[in-house]
Amino acid sequence: MNISLPDSLKSFVDEQIAERGFGTISEYVRELIRKEQDRNQLRTVFLEAAASPVVAEMGPTYFAQVRERIRKPAGR
């Protein structure tokens, strides 16, 4: 696969590779693609959740229960 970039974008990519520790342009592009896949997956989950029926209200009590479950060690 070949990608043509104007000089300004190539400079940006080169800076990102140097600053963020990527070894090659391919590593940088793969990382961008993976992040985009993650964003798309998260967006799908959010849209599915938004379209689902409300099962329970999430008020202060709900979040207090969530915090309590998080604080408890596993298996107790």
| pLDDT tens per residue, range 2-20 | 999 999 999 999 999 999 9
What is this structure's pTM?
0.65
Residue 2 lies in a domain: no
Note whether residue 24 is domain-resident: yes
Length of the chain: 76
Whole-angstrom Cα distance, residue 64 to residue 3?
50
Q: Does 57 fall in a domain? A: yes
- Cβ distance 28 to 22 under 8 Å? yes
Structure tokens at 74: 């596993």
Kindly state whether residue 37 falls inside one of the protein's structural domains: yes
Number of domains in the chain: 1
DSSP category for residue 74: T
Q: What percent of the chain has pLDDT over 70?
A: 96
Domain coverage including residue 54: 7-71
Q: 18 — phi, psi (to 5°)?
A: -70, -45
